[in-house]
Structure 1
Amino acid sequence: VCLCGFLSVKRRNKNFLNNSEQEFVAGRRNTVLQTLKKLKIQCSRKEVPNIALLGSGGGQRAMVGLLGSLVQLDKAGLLDCILYLSGVSGSTWCMASLYKEPDWSTKLETVKNKIIERIRGPEVSLTDAMAKLKKYYYGKDLFSLTDVWAVLVVTSYVKEIDERTLTEQRKQHNKDPFPIYAVIDKQSKQSNDGDPWFEINPYEAGYSLSGVFVDTGDFGSQFQKGSKIKHQDEFDMLYLQALCGSALGDEEDIKKTMWFPSDKPISPSVDECHRALMDLVNMNLSVLNGKDPSGFEKSIRTNLNGKRQPISTIETLKKADERAEKQDIKHFTMEVCEDLSKLYKIYNCFTDVWISICKCMAQWIWGRKYNLLHNMTDEAVNSTLLQSETRDYIDGGLLLNSPYFSVLREDRDIDLIISLDFSQGDPFMTVNDAAETCKKLKIPFPEVNVTSEDKTKPKDFYVFKGQNTPTVIHIPLFNAVNCGDKVEDWRKKYRTFQGAYSAEMIADLMDIAGKNISNNREKLKEQIRAKIVSFFIFFLS
Structure 2
Amino acid sequence: MPPAGWGSSSRESRDAVRRTRKCQAGVAEDSQEVAPQARVPGTCLLTIRILQAHDLPSKDLVTPSDCYVTLWLPTASSHRFQTRTVKNSRSPIWNQSFYFRIHRQLKNVVELKLFDQDLLTKDDTILSVLFDTGTLRAGEFRRDSFSLSPQSKERLEVEFRLQSLTECAEQLVNNGILVARELSCLHVWLDKAEHQKESEGRVQLVVPGSWEGPQEASIGTGSFCFHCPACWEQELNIHLQDAPQEQLKVPLRAVPSGQLVRLVFPTSQEPLMKVELKKEDGLRELAVRLGCEPCAEERAFLSRRKQVVAKALQQVLQLEGDLQEDEIPVVAVMATGGGIRAMTSLYGQLAGLRELGLLDCISYITGASGSTWALANLYEDPEWSQKDLKGPTEFLKTQLTKSKLGVLAPSQLRRYREELAERAHLGHPTCFTNLWALINEALLHDEPHDHKLSDQREALSHGQNPLPIYCALNTKGQNLTTFEFGEWVEFSPYEIGFPKYGAFIPSELFGSEFFMGRLMKRLPESRICFLEGIWSNLYAASLQDSLYWTSEPSQFWDHWAQNRATLDKEQVPLLKIEEPPTASGRIAEFFTDLLTWRPLAQATHNFLYGLHFHKDYFQHPHFSTWKDTKLDGLPNQLTPAEPYLCLLDVGYFINTSCPPLLRPTRDVDLILSLDYNLNGAFQQLQLLGRFCKEQGIPFPPISPSPEEQLQPSECHLFADPECPEAPVVLHFPLVNDSFREHSAPGVRRTPEEKEAGEVNLSSSDSPYHYTKVTYSPEDADKLLLLTHYNICNNRERLLEALREAVQRRRQRGPPKPE
Is TM more than 0.5 here?
Answer: yes
| Aligned residue in 2 for 1:285 | none
Match of 1:135 among 419, 426, 429: 419
Kept in 1, the 8 Å contact 2:402–2:774? The answer is no
Q: 1:502 to 1:528 in 2, by over 3 A?
A: same
More helix by share: 1
Structure 2: which amino acid aligns with 1:175? Q
Cα distance in 1 for partners of 2:548, 2:418 equals: 32
| Aligned residue in 2 for 1:390 | 644
1:372 aligned to 2:603? Answer: no
1:146 aligned to 2:433? Answer: yes
Match of 1:31 among 294, 308, 312: 308
Cα distance in 1 for partners of 2:598, 2:452 equals: 29
Cα distance in 1 for partners of 2:591, 2:687 equals: 31
Cα distance in 2 for partners of 1:428, 1:138 equals: 44
Structure 2: which amino acid aligns with 1:481? S
1:207 Cα deviation (Å)?
A: 1.0
Cα distance in 2 for partners of 1:496, 1:477 equals: 14
1:496 aligned to 2:770? Answer: yes
1:104 aligned to 2:384? Answer: yes
Q: 1:228 to 1:521 in 2, by over 3 A?
A: same
Cα distance in 2 for partners of 1:19, 1:325 equals: 44
| Aligned residue in 2 for 1:473 | 730
Q: 1:470 to 1:154 in 2, by over 3 A?
A: same
Q: 1:367 to 1:540 in 2, by over 3 A?
A: closer
Aligned residues: 445
Structure 2: which amino acid aligns with 1:54? M
Q: 1:109-188 residue pairs with structure 2 within 5 A?
A: 109-121=390-402, 123=404, 125=407, 126=409, 127-140=411-424, 141-173=428-460, 174-187=463-476
| Aligned residue in 1 for 2:80 | none
Indicate the SS of the match to 1:114.
helix
1:423 Cα deviation (Å)?
A: 1.4
Deviations 1:138-172 (A, max 9, x none): 31330111112122345324554323211122223
1:532 Cα deviation (Å)?
A: 1.2
1:479 Cα deviation (Å)?
A: 4.2
Cα distance in 2 for partners of 1:41, 1:252 equals: 54
Which structure is larger by alpha-carbon Rg, 1 or 2?
A: 2
Q: 1:55-70 residue pairs with structure 2 within 5 A?
A: 55-70=335-350
Structure 1: which amino acid aligns with 2:378? L
Indicate the SS of the match to 2:775.
coil
Indicate the SS of the match to 1:410.
coil
1:84 Cα deviation (Å)?
A: 0.4
Structure 1: which amino acid aligns with 2:654? L
Q: 1:132 to 1:210 in 2, by over 3 A?
A: same
Which moves more between the two structures, 366-375 or 452-461? 452-461
Match of 1:90 among 370, 381, 388: 370
Deviations 1:387-431 (A, max 9, x none): 111111111111111111111112111111001000131221221
Structure 2: which amino acid aligns with 1:70? L
Q: 1:540 to 1:221 in 2, by over 3 A?
A: closer
1:17 aligned to 2:274? Answer: no
Q: 1:363 to 1:54 in 2, by over 3 A?
A: closer
Cα distance in 1 for partners of 2:712, 2:788 equals: 17
Kept in 1, the 8 Å contact 2:496–2:510? The answer is yes
Which moves more between the two structures, 52-61 or 235-244? 235-244
Kept in 2, the 8 Å contact 1:184–1:395? The answer is yes
Q: 1:6 to 1:119 in 2, by over 3 A?
A: farther
Cα distance in 2 for partners of 1:10, 1:45 equals: 28
Structure 2: which amino acid aligns with 1:135? E
Kept in 2, the 8 Å contact 1:52–1:82? The answer is yes
What are structure 2's unaligned runs of at least 5 residues?
1-19, 26-283, 552-589, 618-622, 624-631, 742-756
Cα distance in 1 for partners of 2:534, 2:382 equals: 23
Deviations 1:463-482 (A, max 9, x none): 11112111011110124333
| Aligned residue in 2 for 1:359 | none
More relative contact order, 1 or 2 (CA 8 Å, 6+ apart): 1
Cα distance in 2 for partners of 1:258, 1:148 equals: 23
Cα distance in 2 for partners of 1:143, 1:75 equals: 44
Cα distance in 2 for partners of 1:378, 1:179 equals: 30
Match of 2:784 among 510, 519, 524: 510
Structure 2: which amino acid aligns with 1:172? A
Deviations 1:178-204 (A, max 9, x none): 011111112298364666100111111
Deviations 1:329-373 (A, max 9, x none): 9xxxxxxxxxxxxxxxxxxxxxxxxxxxxxxxx962333111111
Which moves more between the two structures, 166-175 or 50-59? 166-175
1:253 Cα deviation (Å)?
A: 4.1
| Aligned residue in 2 for 1:223 | 514
Which moves more between the two structures, 25-34 or 149-158? 149-158
1:101 Cα deviation (Å)?
A: 1.1
Cα distance in 2 for partners of 1:452, 1:105 equals: 38
Q: 1:254 to 1:456 in 2, by over 3 A?
A: same
Cα distance in 1 for partners of 2:814, 2:531 equals: 46
Deviations 1:16-38 (A, max 9, x none): 32111111111111101000111
Structure 2: which amino acid aligns with 1:395? D
1:427 aligned to 2:681? Answer: yes
Indicate the SS of the match to 2:328.
coil
Kept in 2, the 8 Å contact 1:186–1:250? The answer is no
Kept in 1, the 8 Å contact 2:288–2:607? The answer is yes
Q: 1:482 to 1:253 in 2, by over 3 A?
A: farther
Cα distance in 1 for partners of 2:698, 2:467 equals: 22
What are structure 1's unaligned runs of at least 5 residues?
261-322, 330-361
Match of 1:207 among 498, 509, 512: 498
Cα distance in 1 for partners of 2:803, 2:436 equals: 44
Kept in 2, the 8 Å contact 1:457–1:479? The answer is no
1:119 Cα deviation (Å)?
A: 3.6
1:74 aligned to 2:358? Answer: no
Cα distance in 2 for partners of 1:181, 1:525 equals: 27
| Aligned residue in 2 for 1:279 | none
Root mean square deviation of aligned Cα: 2.8
Q: 1:131 to 1:392 in 2, by over 3 A?
A: same
Kept in 2, the 8 Å contact 1:253–1:398? The answer is no
Q: 1:109 to 1:367 in 2, by over 3 A?
A: same
